[in-house]
Amino acid sequence: MRIQLIGTGLPTPDPRRFGPASLLEIGGRRLLIDCGEGVARRLVEAGVLANTVDGVLITHLHADHTLGLPAIFTAGWVMGRPEQLELYGPSGSEAMAKGMLEFLAEDIGIRSRLEFAGNSKGAELAVTEIRDGVVLAGDDWSIEAFSVEHPPVEPAFGFRVSEAGRVAVFSGDTRPCDAVVEAAAGAEVLIHECMPTIAMEMARKVGLRQGDAGSGIAAYHTSEEDVGKIAARAGVKRLVLNHLPPIGDPEAIKARIAEDFDGAIHVGSDLDIVLS
C-alpha cells in the first residue's frame, strides 16, 4: 500500500494547495480518494499519468472534492486509457456523472470522430453508488466506506483501507465523530481533515458563517483542538492533517494537537508521500 497526498486544500484557490485528492496504490491498482481542482496537473508532478488511474472514490459531493473529475476523465481518455474510468461515490454520483458527460458531450463527440474512434470505452464512466461497507477488495486488501458527520451533507463517507495487516484511514470531511475513532482503531495512519480555529475566526471576520456547535463551518469540520483527541482515542501511530486553509502556523497547530496526541503528527502538503 502506498499513499501520496495530491491536493490538500479547500474550495478557496491556493497556489500551494490544490483541491482535495489522495493517490492510493493498492493491489496493483491506482485509485484517487476524492478529485479536487488541479489534481490532473499535480499527478503529473507526482510522475503519474492520468491514463494509469483506474478509479476515483468520492467521499461526498461538495464541489471541491469533485471539480477535478472532468480533467482526470478527459486527460486519461486522450492519453489512451483503454477502459471505463471507475467512479465510486455516495448517492447522487450517477446524476453528477451524467451531468459531467453532458457537459463534455461536444468534446467527446468531436474527438471520437477525429482522434479516438477506436477507443470509445475510454470515454465512458462506470458509476457505483456506495453505502457503508466494502467498496473494493482483492485477495489481501479491502477498501471499506463508513458514514461520517458532515451536516447537512448526507451521505458523507470516510474510507478504511486494509492490506496484509496494515490499515490507513481517510476521514473525509467531518466534524468530530465516533465513526472515525472506531474505523481508525489501531491504524498505522489516520489522514484527517483539519480546519484550524484561526481559519474559522477569519471566516467569521469576512462574513462567512463561522458558527458554533450547531451552525456554520464549526458544525461540520474538525479543529486542531479536536483532531488530536480523535487520534488519541483511536490509538493511531501517525496523524496526517489534510484539507487545510492557506492560513495557520503548522508548528502551532502541531503543538496544540500534541497536547492530546503523543504519536507522530504531519501537516500535509501537496505531493507528500505519507505511506509507502
Which residues does the annotation mark as catalytic? 64
**246: which 3 cell numbers?**
492557506
**Nearest one of 181, 226, 165, 179 to 200, comparing CA atoms:** 226
Cβ neighbours of residue 221 under 8 Å, at least 6 residues apart? 173, 174, 175, 193, 195, 200
Q: What is the dihedral of CA 233, 236, 240, 241, to 10 degrees?
A: -10
Q: How many residues does the chain have?
A: 276
Residue 175: exposed, middle, or buried by beta-carbon count in 10 A (0-12, 13-18, 19+)? Answer: buried
Strands (E), 61-179: 85-89, 125-129, 133-137, 141-147, 157-163, 166-170
Helices (H), the chain: 39-45, 69-78, 93-103, 105-114, 178-183, 197-205, 224-234, 250-258
